[in-house]
Structure 1
Amino acid sequence: MARRTGLIALAAVGGLLLTACGSTTEDAGPQSATGEETRSVVHALGTTEIAGTPERVVVLDSGELDAVTSLGVVPVGTVETEGLLEELATAHDFDAADVEVVGSIAEPDLEAVAALRPDLILTNAIRHEAIYDQLSELAPTVMSAELGAVWKENFLLSAEALGMTAQAEEQLADYDRRVGEIAAAWSDPAGTEVAVLRFMGAGEIRAYARGSFIGSVLDDIGFVWPAALDTTDNRVELTPESLALVTSDVVFWSPGFGETGQAESASVQSGGLWTTLPAVQAGAEHEIDDSRWFLGLGPSGADLVLDDLAEIVASR
C-alpha cells in the first residue's frame, strides 16, 4: 500500500463530504456578513474572497486533486484522472466512489459541477482559463498559473484557499526530509544521470525533463541529466529511432499510456536501439507506475515516487 501522507480524511456525514481538518487560525482575516472569517487569495486570474472553511470542494485537475487529499480533504467532485483518484484513495483511506466524476480535464461538465453545490473550485489556468468566469459564478474559484516543476507553489496555493497553509508547510518539510534520505541512500546522485521515459504510442516517446513534476523530484534528490535531455522544458519528444540520445546511467520507464503505449513499449524493448542503451545493458532500467509518476503533480504523488525510489535503492 502506498505510504500515507497528510491527515486522514474523515467519513462522509449526512451525504455531504466534509473537510477532515478543523479551523485554521493562521489564515484569519476579515469577517463576512455571516460572521465567517474571510481571506483574499491571489492567484493566476485575480483575487478570490473565500469565507470560512470550504466544505464542498471541487477540483478540476490532477494536481489540485493530489493537493486537497494530501491535506485530508475529500473533494465532492473531480475530473477523470486515469486511476489517480483510486491511488490517492488508497493512500489516504477514503472511498473513491464517494467522489463524483464531473467530466474530463479537457471538458469539465459544468452542470455536474453546479449540481454538487461547491463552495470552492480549484484548478489550473493552463487547463481552464477560458471558463474561469463560468466557474466563478458557481463558487469561489482559485487557479494556479503553471504545471509541472511548480507543484510546490501550486500546493501552497490550494492550501491557502483551504485555510491550511501551516499543514502544507509541514508536509513540504517532510518531503524535504525524505528527499535527503533518498539522496543519502543512493550515495552519489550527483554522479548519476537519469532519464524518465513514457511510451505514448504512434511512435511518440516522452522523455520528461527538469521542467516536469517528476523532473523536479529527481532534481531535488540531486540526480543529473544526459546532455540531450538536460533542459528546463517539461519534456523532450523522442521516437524509437532517436533513443540513442538516452545515454543515462539509469532509465525509469512507464509501459505506456493506454493500450497503444503498452504495445509500443513492448515492441521497442524487444530489440533495436533499446538493448544498446547504457542503462539497459547495466541492468539499471526500472519499470514505473504511470499514475504514480506522471499524474499526481502534488505531495502525495511525490511521496509515492519516493516510495518507489526507496525500493529501488534497497534492491541495488
Structure 2
Amino acid sequence: MITALRRRGLLAGSLALTAAFVLSACGSSEPSDKGKESAAGGSDLRTVKTAMGDVQVKKAPKRVVVLDTAELDSAITLGVKPVGATHAGTESGFLPYLPKDKVEGIKDVGEMMTPNLEAIAALQPDLILTSKIRHGDKYAELKKIAPTVMTETTGHPWKENFQLHADALGKTAEAKKAVADYDAHTKKVTKALGGKEKAAKTEVNVVRFVEGADIRIYGKRNYISTLLSDVGVGRPAITDKAKDGFSYDVSPEKIDLADADVVFHSTYGDPTKAKRKQTLDSALWKGMKAVENDKAFAVEDELWIQGIGYTAASKILDELQSHLTK
C-alpha cells in the first residue's frame, strides 16, 4: 500500500516537473531562433544552396573556418579574416602570396586533407567553408560543429564557388567589386599584349612538376586556364588532349610535347622527386622554342596553382603581363 502511494507520488511529481519545464520554455527570456525571428520581425538566418543541399547560416557569420586554399582566398578577398584555416601541403603555414596582416592570428587547424576536427570545434565557428571533393566524407561530422557550406568541387568553377562563398559570408556587395576589379584587370593585360587578336596569336602552356607523379601539362579546365582564357592568349593543341580537360601528363622523355611560344612552369613538393632538374637539364627541354627564345618562366606553385581566387588572380595577372611583354 505504501509502495503504491509512493509510486503515485513520484508520478505526480514527475508530471509537475515536466509541466514546469514546458512553462519555463514558453516564458523564457532566452527565445529560440524562431522566437528571435518573431521578435525581430525577421530571421537572423538565411538559406544557402550548397552541394549538400540547403543550409541555414547566419546573415553575418563572425567565426568562420575555411578548409582549403580557395575558401581562404575568398574570405580574404571579401574582407573576412577566418578564425581557423587548414594549410596546404605537408608544411605548416598559409600560402605566402596572401598578405601577412590578413592571415596573422588565424589558427592552423591541420593539413588540408586531414583537418583536425577537435581544433575546429574548439574555435566555436558559426560557419565552415569547404568543398565536397575535399571533405564530403566528413560532412556529417563538420555540420555537427557548425553550418557547413560546400561547393561541389574546386579549381575550374572558382568564380561560381566564390559567389557561393560570398553568399554564405553575407558579402555579396564586396563580391561584385572583386569581380569588377578582376574584369578591368584582365582587359588591362589584354591591352598591354596588343589587343585580343595579337594576344590570341601567342600560345601559352603551363607545366607543373609534381613530386611522386608525372609532369602535368595543364589543359583548359582548371583555375589557371580560366585566367589565360580571360586574357585571351592562345593555347597549344596538346591542351585539348588533357584528361577531363584538367591535364595531359607526360614523363620527362616527352616534355617536348609541352612546347609553346611561352611556357610557365611550377613545382609542387621536392624538386628532385618531381624530376624538375632532370627535365630542365635535358636536351628535349633545352630544344623547345620557348626555352631557346627565353620564354620559359619559373613561377610560384603556391600562387599560380594552389591560390585559386581573386586575390591570387590579381598577382598572377601582374606576372602574366610582365612576362608576356618582355
- AA matched with 2:181: D
CA shift digits 1:285-306 (9 cap, x unpaired): 1111111101111111111111
Normalising by the residue count of structure 2, what TM-score does the alignment of the two structures yield? 0.81
For 1:171 and 1:262, the matched residues in 2 are separated by 38
Quote the residue 1:5 is aligned against. none
Q: Does the residue aligned with 2:97 lie in a helix, a strand or coil?
A: helix
Q: Does the residue aligned with 1:79 lie in a helix, a strand or coil?
A: strand
* Offset at residue 229 of structure 1 (A): 1.5
For 2:129 and 2:176, the matched residues in 1 are separated by 19
CA shift digits 1:252-301 (9 cap, x unpaired): 011x2122457721221112210111111111111111111011111111
Quote the residue 1:212 is aligned against. 222
* Residue 166 (structure 1) aligned with residue 159 (structure 2): no
Quote the residue 1:143 is aligned against. 150
Query: CA contact under 8 A between 1:185 and 1:313: conserved in structure 2?
Result: no
Q: Does the residue aligned with 1:87 lie in a helix, a strand or coil?
A: coil
* Structure with bigger gyration radius: 2
- AA matched with 1:174: D
Give the 5 Å matches for 1:120-139: 120-139=127-146
CA shift digits 1:171-192 (9 cap, x unpaired): 1111011001111111222111
Q: Does the residue aligned with 2:254 lie in a helix, a strand or coil?
A: helix
Match of 1:56 among 54, 60, 63: 63
Match of 1:94 among 90, 102, 121: 102
Quote the residue 1:197 is aligned against. 207
How many pairs does the alignment contain? 282
CA shift digits 1:208-253 (9 cap, x unpaired): 2211100111111112221112356121111101112123110001
Quote the residue 1:222 is aligned against. 232
Query: CA contact under 8 A between 1:244 and 1:277: conserved in structure 2?
Result: yes
The gaps in structure 2 that reach 5 residues or longer are 1-34
Match of 2:119 among 103, 112, 116: 112
For 1:72 and 1:38, the matched residues in 2 are separated by 21
For 2:87 and 2:206, the matched residues in 1 are separated by 24
Give the 5 Å matches for 1:235-274: 235-254=247-266, 256-261=267-272, 264-274=275-285
For 1:116 and 1:309, the matched residues in 2 are separated by 39
- AA matched with 1:88: L
Query: CA contact under 8 A between 1:80 and 1:101: conserved in structure 2?
Result: yes
Normalising by the residue count of structure 1, what TM-score does the alignment of the two structures yield? 0.84
- AA matched with 2:287: T
Q: Does the residue aligned with 2:249 lie in a helix, a strand or coil?
A: strand
- 209 and 57 in structure 1: CA distance in 2 versus 1, 3 angstrom threshold: same
* Offset at residue 203 of structure 1 (A): 6.0
Query: CA contact under 8 A between 1:102 and 1:113: conserved in structure 2?
Result: yes
- AA matched with 1:278: K
For 1:174 and 1:88, the matched residues in 2 are separated by 18
- 220 and 40 in structure 1: CA distance in 2 versus 1, 3 angstrom threshold: same
- AA matched with 1:37: D
For 1:33 and 1:86, the matched residues in 2 are separated by 46
Query: CA contact under 8 A between 2:77 and 2:311: conserved in structure 1?
Result: yes
For 1:261 and 1:222, the matched residues in 2 are separated by 34
